[in-house]
Structure 1
């Protein structure tokens, strides 16, 4: 696989300047046009304002790219037929000369291969509800168990089985720390209702953990920095609980299964909260991007 780094990203990595990886699925599949491109440009600008270099990741015409120019961002945002690619899809997409937006797992893999250590996203995938029946678990977890990257996120998507996901991360040996909190965030919510064992309070503390990972020589795995959406920006917890219960019922009644479950539930929440869930999602992403840039800066100063 020939990895293509933008000139800006390559120069930053070579000079050991801070770089933050950004996924492209939110651009191609998470937001309506033209808002998706506006948000993509806004997130990159946020990274730059914090003194770091943005590295949005995507696959275009069979070439995996870490760092996109404006024209390439526009392609991801506006081109019909842009696929959604997890890390397992990358060899198939490269061989087919396809174009696609990268999920958490594909973004983390390509960013790590490029030498980018910090990645900002919204929420991770995880163990799905009714796992004992469906055996449905996001590929994010296994990939993060074998990839040395720091992921700043707002926990895992609240439509998932959060305690089972935390247990699975522990089993896989993936380090998890709350940022400024001893509670695991719930994506749309500041608190999922579950604790975390470790709390980090500054970007410098996160960078110290990253250095300790390297110094210990432990097996390659990620560091999850769970950064809650501010309470003022979270989805109303009562509304969240009510609409999610309705969404799960509708999912079962309509026989939605497999990979279709997550987009179905997320779309249901957006429509039945009148866009409030999307606003909370974007607030979380913005906060994560700013924090990731500060962590990348602290990391490069070490």
Structure 2
């Protein structure tokens, strides 16, 4: 693939891939745009540690100095964390310019999927995916994450779609594009901070081995595209639905009043919700990422077994 000449795979990640061992991709927007320093770096390093403890090799993904990176050093993670929102938030449309100009970029779900696939990584753990924004029938504000899930063969393990979105329309969009939406141990779409949304997923699957088999068969059949695994936040970290929904409604109204739109929307809303909930939403966010890392690692382990057979 022509893109590969722009890609650097960390030696630890390359060795795991060469030996057919499980690897889990991680995004970097959560480091630069998702949390304050040093909590962002602590969280990123903890996620990598959790993945190692569950039998897989972590590959945090970013663009640094115009190079697409699959696997970062602790120093590179610290650099992204310290630089924070000054690092460009890189979606598919941004990659050519960032690479051409030798710039840095924190990868979203979309670009993490792209770079993971380039590197040969099939499983990716994140917090929540983007989706169809509220009011998209007039704004046409639909996350590129959904289009990437339709085309790029990577399994994305998340805690559902952020409840700042229109969850019903997000599911409709994924259905139209042939993306299976799996609930891990649930038939209901988790809503990021909370375990329930009122919307049904396509299938419930209860073990990492079954998740791996569904994804393996999808690729083996030549159907292509990704698979979305929605993993509910652990009960003890789940937020009160009324509290979080009230905060979301307030944040959405303020974003409208300030004319916030496009790629600025999600960081603005998440920061506002964090303020409105006294930081509880950030604590929940960290725990659900850890939970997704465990499931992604366990699934990657099972997928590597299938690939060897």
Instruction: Settle same-fold status: TM greater than 0.5.
Output: yes
Superposition map of 1:229-240 within 5 A: 229-240=233-244
Residue 39 in structure 1 maps to residue 43 in structure 2: yes
1:186-213 CA-to-partner distances (Å, cap 9, x unmatched) read 0111011111121110000011101211
Q: Does 182-191 or 251-260 show the bigger shift?
A: 251-260
Aligned to 1:126: 131
Counterpart CA distance in 2 for 1:37 and 1:255 is 31
Match of 1:86 among 62, 82, 91: 91
Aligned to 2:141: 136
Aligned to 1:198: 203
SS at 1:199 equivalent: strand
Superposition map of 1:220-299 within 5 A: 220-299=224-303
Aligned to 1:182: 187
How far off is 1:93 after superposition?
0.5
SS at 1:45 equivalent: helix
Tell me how many residue pairs correspond in the alignment.
301
Counterpart CA distance in 2 for 1:261 and 1:60 is 24
1:136-193 CA-to-partner distances (Å, cap 9, x unmatched) read 1000011111000100001111100000000000001111110000100001110111
SS at 2:61 equivalent: strand
Counterpart CA distance in 1 for 2:260 and 2:73 is 37
Is the 2:131–2:142 contact (alpha carbons within 8 Å) kept by the matching residues of 1? yes
SS at 2:69 equivalent: strand
Aligned to 2:75: 71
Match of 1:97 among 102, 105, 130: 102
Counterpart CA distance in 1 for 2:94 and 2:258 is 28
1:36-86 CA-to-partner distances (Å, cap 9, x unmatched) read 111111110000101110000011101000001112112111136321111
Aligned Cα root-mean-square deviation (Å): 1.1
Counterpart CA distance in 1 for 2:256 and 2:72 is 39
Counterpart CA distance in 2 for 1:264 and 1:72 is 25
Counterpart CA distance in 2 for 1:283 and 1:196 is 22
SS at 1:189 equivalent: coil
Counterpart CA distance in 2 for 1:261 and 1:63 is 27
Aligned to 1:165: 170
Gapped regions of structure 2 (runs ≥ 5): none
How far off is 1:269 after superposition?
0.5
Is the 2:33–2:267 contact (alpha carbons within 8 Å) kept by the matching residues of 1? no
Counterpart CA distance in 1 for 2:79 and 2:47 is 17
Is the 2:180–2:202 contact (alpha carbons within 8 Å) kept by the matching residues of 1? no
Counterpart CA distance in 1 for 2:179 and 2:226 is 6
Is the 2:131–2:167 contact (alpha carbons within 8 Å) kept by the matching residues of 1? yes
SS at 2:233 equivalent: coil
1:220-242 CA-to-partner distances (Å, cap 9, x unmatched) read 21011110101221111110121
Gapped regions of structure 1 (runs ≥ 5): none
Structure 1-normalised TM-score?
0.97
Counterpart CA distance in 1 for 2:79 and 2:62 is 10
How far off is 1:267 after superposition?
1.1
